[in-house]
Amino acid sequence: MFQFTHYNYNVLDLEKSMKFYEEALGLKEVRRKEAEDGSFILVYLGDGKTGFELELTWLRDWNRPYNLGDNEIHLAFVTEDFEAAHAKHKEMGCICFENEAMGIYFINDPDGYWLEILPMK
């Protein structure tokens, strides 16, 4: 038997990404691991409600944008106040795709990863 625990995104600017995830989605740091030699930092973000975590990985020696391919992968988030979330994300300028027929939209983070926003059912 297996359980979900976390998902990973590699990021170029850890502080910028952490700020984005807190402002856009309310995610906060729950723990971190730093390499003794400074070669990497792992920061785990949580929503304070579920046990699922988003791991942000910063690599000291990585100096170019990550190749996200066709970017057909994403994480999905639900919100109780879809309209307020949409207004906030529009103000932030991070909405990258809307599907009004399905009642969903996507935002992208500083590294270009897509995040789906859904209304609570």
Q: Which active-site residues does the annotation give?
A: 116
Distance CA 59, CA 84 (A): 35
Separation between Cα atoms, residue 34 and residue 21, nearest integer Å = 20
27/49 Cα distance (integer angstroms): 10
DSSP code for 5: -
CB under 8 A, 24+ apart: contacts of 41-46: 41/14, 43/14, 43/18, 44/6, 45/18, 45/21
